[in-house]
Structure 1
Amino acid sequence: MAADVITLIKADHRKVEELFAKLSSGRGDPRAIVAALHALLTAHARAEEDVIYPRLDAHHGLEQHKEAEVLLDSLKRAEPGGTEFAGAHALLAVSVSHHVQEEESTLLPLLARTTSERELRDLGRTFRQRRQQELRALTWKARAASGGGHLTKTELYERAREADIPGRSRMSKKELEKALARARS
């Protein structure tokens, strides 16, 4: 049975909380944890903004997402172990925690009251697809930026299909890379 959108959103919230706890405890590579946090928060926010927020006229949530994005960028730029890193981590954790609490106490109950179970499952499917699309795009960008782990032609073709790039089936690997870069800029 397909998960409804509320279940998926709350599952993402719990995963984000786990990542913050792991970062606070000092367990694991802080850069890897921040990268995972960045990917999940970004993909989750974009999926909410595209799938959920238009249904609920959630302008305040958009503002909170922008704030989190700025704080997340500060955390990514900071050196783990430094005071800037600790400060950015603390501010982001408080901001995201507030957003999650607000969303789970106000927005999601409103969505549950105003949407049928079938619509919630349909929204869940759309939310999951949108979030996965963002996660794949973020992974591709990270690979491209690092210069390592180049995508295969098949992976590039799949991303070109998702981006609805015309003529992709006749493109070489290099042409697919260029077309995807243009589509993302």
Structure 2
Amino acid sequence: MANQTDFDATHILASDHRKVEDLFSKFEKASGAERKADIANQICNELKIHTIIEEEIFYPALEGKVEESLLKEAYVEHDGAKLLVNEIAEGSPDEEFYDAKVTVLKEQIEHHVKEEEKQHENMFQQARAADVDLEDLGRRMLAKKEELQSLAQKQGLPRAEMHTVN
């Protein structure tokens, strides 16, 4: 998680990206079905929480302030990832395509992160240049994130909901 004194929404999201990248790395090095399942479930929970705070708070605040195509692609990319997140979360490391699904999810997330924070004129750069209160967004995102993390610990998170896929 981002430093608690840093409420910049883009920094919070970038911190989430680093955490998930680290989890994917751990998954690749893991052996044993139980260990892989544990790491994969952490990845799925992190991505569920991340997509919720982006879709409910961050992306709506950027509408009309960043390139519309970037936002639309982000929603579609999320839904592609959510399909795999749900498959992985409901699956087992014993299944034939389990590791392949985690690998493809990793590749999708790497592409998504590139568009949000690494390529020229990315979403985060555009958000910083626009009239968006990133501190207020960050506070709201952290509050929602804490709520979802608590839910995940108490009863688990529901399936990831699609927005662009029927």
Fold similarity call, TM over 0.5:
yes
Runs of 4+ in 1 over 4 A off after TM superposition: none
Contact 1:43 1:132 in 2 (8 A): no
Question: Counterpart of 1:180?
Answer: none
Between the aligned partners of 2:31 and 2:56, the Cα distance in structure 1 is 34
Question: Counterpart of 1:124?
Answer: 138
Letter in 2 for 1:109: Q
Question: Counterpart of 1:179?
Answer: none
Does residue 67 (structure 1) correspond to residue 80 (structure 2)? The answer is yes
Does residue 44 (structure 1) correspond to residue 44 (structure 2)? The answer is no
Does residue 92 (structure 1) correspond to residue 96 (structure 2)? The answer is no
Structure 1 length-normalised TM: 0.69
What is the CA distance between 1:78 and its match in structure 2?
Answer: 3.3
Contact 2:45 2:152 in 1 (8 A): yes
Contact 1:51 1:126 in 2 (8 A): yes
Matches for 1:124-163 after TM superposition, within 5 Å? 124-142=138-156
Contact 1:47 1:131 in 2 (8 A): yes
More helix by share: 1
Extract unaligned runs of 5+ from structure 2: 64-70, 158-166
Identity %: 25
Q: With CA pairs under 8 Å and 6+ residues apart, which has the higher RCO, 1 or 2? A: 2
Q: CA RMSD in A?
A: 1.9
| Structure with larger Rg | 1
Between the two proteins, the alignment pairs up a number of residues equal to 141
Call closer, same or farther: CA 1:27–1:108 in 2, change over 3 Å.
farther
Question: Counterpart of 2:126?
Answer: 110
Between the aligned partners of 2:156 and 2:30, the Cα distance in structure 1 is 24
Extract unaligned runs of 5+ from structure 1: 144-185
Does residue 80 (structure 1) correspond to residue 101 (structure 2)? The answer is no
